Chains A and B, each alone.
Chain A
């Protein structure tokens, strides 16, 4: 087996239909990112299991992969999201933890980041409560954008919807969270990242 490091995810997945072991290259490319996301959502107890289940599910349904998607990340996040949804109680526990504990994020302290961090620490518990109060589908979208750092178009692919629908839903989510948090919500001039 030889893996072309320049091959797109789509190429690898299509080739893996005849050479299944090539799928490990997809894992090697994206597993750290998916694992970090699952860890953030469910915590350390389930991160490994759910990540393995995500890639196994992806392997099993790879024949349905749309070859037009050169980047497999949104597709993998969509599968991860469904796996995560099977562990609702673990997610609830994780949100409770966020409510009571400060973020244990990276330590670099760029000035912009530092400001965001201070705001996050101040608002953290209330943000976590507001996050937990969101309908599941809205929370999924918000976290795909905030924690998985997907663009609107990528989030739309992961959720199986359109970019315009994602924008509209995010707008509604922001309005709702501002209502929950009142004057403390860190509002900037709204601008899209697309």
Chain B
């Protein structure tokens, strides 16, 4: 019938190569999940020494880095707690396990520079960038985010086999979980994460899927054209108050 066929023509279709890559990654996660007999995205937030949770930290210590050290809490310093080290902020938690595995728990997309430092302290050669954005009027006149530039990593991505060894994506949507195995990172490679930092909650967000790069050079942020009718060339500047990519420290 015509109306169904017309609607069918509106269906977005993924490029075949992208479809196959996503399918293989999903298969790997299924096989892993079947072996564990539970969904890999089910994870428990680490409970800190002294029974602190990130919620308690958020209530008592605002957004400053809070690090655990046995029963006490020492803001602003890295320290160990038993066999693992945990760095907590109101937005994210980075926990290094005794076997060197690094778990990244994201509750919000914020403080990319701090996240980069925490990961590097745990032995992950990480590059974390914020995606510059502007707010514009969208559906029903609600504000939506629009990136002014986009990080292009396609030419610098490590092979899929390396991605699989280094990175396990437990859950991509917030609250997100990424598990990194730094020992599996090839020499000179880097883990790249990028997201919009602190946009208004109702305006949405764009976060790139974490990838392992073959080198530790931060990808260029390529300006994105505003495709709305009557709009001019892209605005490559970051939103006021947000860190531009160049303002963030480059990976060591």
Contacts and interface: CB of A to CB of B under 8 A. Distances in A.
Contacts of A113: 9
B34 A23 contact: yes
Interface string B223-252: 000011000000000000000000000000
Interface residues of B, number: 43
Interface of A: 20-21, 23-24, 27-28, 31-32, 35-36, 39-40, 43-49, 51-53, 55-57, 59-60, 87, 89-90, 92-101, 103-106, 113, 116-117, 119-121, 123-124, 127-128, 131-132, 142, 145-147, 149, 174, 177, 185-188, 190-191, 193
B70 interface: no
B1 A47 contact: no
B8 interface: yes
Interface of B: 1-14, 18-19, 22-23, 25-27, 29-31, 33-34, 38-41, 138-139, 144, 169, 171-173, 204, 206-207, 209, 227-228
Contacts of B5: 116
Given A52-B33, A106-B13, A44 B27 contact: no
Contact of B1 (A21, A89, A193): A193
B152 to A, nearest CB: 15
A66 to B, nearest CB: 21
Nearest to A55: B30
Contact of B10 (A103, A106, A177): A103
A31 B26 contact: yes
B2 A188 contact: yes
A186 B23 CA distance: 35
Contacts of A101: 227
A52 B34 CA distance: 11
Contact of B172 (A35, A49, A116, A123): A49
A147 B9 CA distance: 9
Contacts of A95: 139
**List of 10 A-B pairs having minimum Cβ-Cβ separation, nearest first:** A120-B9, A188-B2, A52-B29, A52-B26, A48-B22, A146-B7, A96-B139, A49-B172, A51-B26, A186-B2
Contacts of A132: 139
Contacts of B18: 44
A45 B41 contact: no
17 contacts: A21-B34, A31-B27, A35-B26, A36-B19, A46-B173, A48-B22, A48-B172, A55-B26, A56-B39, A96-B144, A103-B10, A119-B9, A124-B10, A142-B7, A188-B1, A190-B1, A193-B1
Contacts of B27: 24, 27-28, 31
A127 B10 contact: yes
Contacts of B40: 56
B34 A53 contact: no
A127 B6 contact: yes
B172 A45 contact: yes
A21 B7 CA distance: 38
Contacts of A105: 9-13
A123 B6 contact: yes
Contact of A35 (B19, B33, B171, B206): B19
Given A45-B207, A56-B29, A106-B13, 10 more contacts: A31-B26, A36-B14, A44-B18, A56-B39, A59-B34, A94-B12, A96-B144, A99-B139, A100-B228, A105-B13
Nearest to B169: A49
Nearest to A129: B139
A128 to B, nearest CB: 7
Contact of A47 (B8, B22, B227): B22
A24 B31 contact: yes
A113 B2 CA distance: 11
A61 to B, nearest CB: 11
